[in-house]
Structure 1
Amino acid sequence: MTDLFRQTYGPTALVTGASSGIGLAFAEELARRGLDLILTARRADRLKALADRLTAAHGVAVSVIGADLQEPDAPARILQRTGHADIGVLLSNAGFNIKGGFELQDPVRMAGMLTVNCHAPMQLAHGLLPHLKRRGKGGIVFTASVEGLIGCPYSAAYSATKALVVALGEALWGELQGTGVDVLTLCPGATDTEATAGMKGLANLQSPNDVARLALDNLREGPTFVPHEHYRAMFQAIRAQPRREALAAMAESMKRMAR
């Protein structure tokens, strides 16, 4: 299985948001599977330490690119710096969230979230797709969220950004049928990362290592994948309800949790 994975998605993987959380877990899991890595994130010092550790542990080549994806030209710079590499899989993972009442949020921070969560994956996929199609094999993983499957009250802006990622991934999955390029939109529920640290009332937390491993194991099973059984069943039930009832119930639940 590992050899087949490396033959299909190797020799090199590009991972965004690799300094922590699910991105870091992707880097570790891909290194275990024998792929060379290009890792990007804002915190280049963390990436360098991770690169040294993965090279020592698995004998893979790891290069790092410090990049802040809130800068609109960051994806173009990443693509330019990686143009020499035979990238077989893109893990478009970088992102952040904003919670709370929509009108209370900082508009500048919302704009930055839109750039990181939506603009970056769209531009990176656009830049890499010609190469992947010429190869006739490879893949793209977009990290979205279960909150992209339906508009989530008190998470409006974040939910909207992840809805774009879900739509982008589903559309590309359809377009790329027959090309050998797989597309998976990963929709985790609550995951034990820096983003959830300190949040109250979270249950069914999943480890980022499990999320990354399950995503890679199911890369050919697109278009979307919810890696936790609890959240898979939960959002199937929510989306099966009349939309007005589902949204009202979700809003009331969030109000109760905030009290």
Structure 2
Amino acid sequence: MPDQFRETYGPIALVTGASSGIGLAFAEELAQRGFDLVLTARRTDRLDALAERLLSSHAVRTTVIGCDLADPNAPARILEATRGADIGLVVSNAGFNVKGAFEDTDAAAMARMLTVNCHAPLQLAHGMIPRLKARTRGGIVFTASVEGLIGCPYSAAYSASKALVVALGEALWGEMLGTGIDVLTLCPGATESEATAGMAAMTQLQSAAEVAKLALGNMGEGPTFVPHTHYRQMFEALREQPRSAALAAMAEGMRKRT
């Protein structure tokens, strides 16, 4: 099965946001499966250290591209830098969130978040799909969030940005049927990361390594995949309720926490 997976999606995988969290876990899991890698993030020192470690432990080659996806021109630079590389798997993972009451959220931070969370996946997919179709096989993973499955009060801008990713991934899953290209939109719940490390109240945390492994194991099971049973059941129940009741209950629950 590992050889078959690499034959379908290899020999090279591109992972954005690979310096920490789920992106780092994707890089480690793919290296273990024998993929050469193209890794992007702002913190190139971390990527360089990761590349050395993966070369030593798995004998895979890694190309590091330092970029900030808050720059609208960054996806074009990634596409140009990878021209000619035989990339069979694109993991569009980079993203961040801003939470709290919408009116208290910094407008500039929201603009940066929309560029990273929405503009970058759109542009990378637009540039990579013709290359994948020319290969007649491959895959795309979009890292979204369970918060993209329904509007989440006190997470309005982030929830909206991930709703775009969910819609994009689902639409492309349909468009790619019959092309040999699998599209999976990954919707994690709370995941162990630098962002959640100091949050004592966070429960039902899932390890980033488990999220990445489960996502890759379900590449052909799109269009969307929620890797944690707790969050899958929670959001299925929310979406089965009348939308007004679900949103009111979510808002009340968040107000009680603040």
Match of 2:184 in 1: 184
How far 1:200 moved relative to its partner? 4.4
How far 1:89 moved relative to its partner? 0.4
Match of 1:116 in 2: 116
Match of 2:54 in 1: 54
Distance 2:135 2:43 in 1: 32
SS of residue in 1 equivalent to 2:196: coil
Does structure 2 conserve the Cα–Cα contact (< 8 Å) formed by 1:201 and 1:257?
Answer: no
SS of residue in 1 equivalent to 2:84: coil
Residue identity in the other structure for 1:29 = E
Match of 1:77 in 2: 77
Does structure 2 conserve the Cα–Cα contact (< 8 Å) formed by 1:97 and 1:195?
Answer: no
TM-score, length basis structure 1: 0.99
Match of 1:216 in 2: 216
Distance 1:173 1:234 in 2: 24
Percent identity, aligned pairs only, is: 72
How far 1:65 moved relative to its partner? 0.4
Q: For 1:180-217, what per-residue CA distance to the aligned partner results, in whole angstroms no more than 9, with x for missing partners? A: 00000000000001122223421110000000000000
Q: For 1:110-169, what per-residue CA distance to the aligned partner results, in whole angstroms no more than 9, with x for missing partners? A: 000000000001100100000101111000000000000000000000000000000000
Distance 2:167 2:199 in 1: 28
1:107 equivalenced with 2:111 (yes/no): no
Aligned residues: 258
Match of 1:163 in 2: 163
Match of 1:67 in 2: 67
TM-score, length basis structure 2: 0.99
SS of residue in 2 equivalent to 1:96: coil
Residue identity in the other structure for 2:135 = R
Query: RMSD over aligned Cα, in angstroms?
Result: 0.6
Give matches, 1:1-259, under 5 Å: 1-258=1-258
Distance 1:153 1:166 in 2: 18
SS of residue in 1 equivalent to 2:127: helix
Does structure 2 conserve the Cα–Cα contact (< 8 Å) formed by 1:17 and 1:40?
Answer: yes
Distance 1:118 1:15 in 2: 16
SS of residue in 1 equivalent to 2:108: helix
Distance 1:112 1:202 in 2: 26
How far 1:84 moved relative to its partner? 1.6
Q: For 1:21-78, what per-residue CA distance to the aligned partner results, in whole angstroms no more than 9, with x for missing partners? A: 0000000000000000000000000000000000110011111000000000000000
- Ranges in structure 2 where 5+ consecutive residues have no aligned partner: none
Q: For 1:192-243, what per-residue CA distance to the aligned partner results, in whole angstroms no more than 9, with x for missing partners? A: 0112222342111000000000000001100000000000000000000000
SS of residue in 1 equivalent to 2:236: helix
SS of residue in 2 equivalent to 1:179: coil
Distance 1:35 1:198 in 2: 33
Distance 2:197 2:209 in 1: 16
- Ranges in structure 1 where 5+ consecutive residues have no aligned partner: none
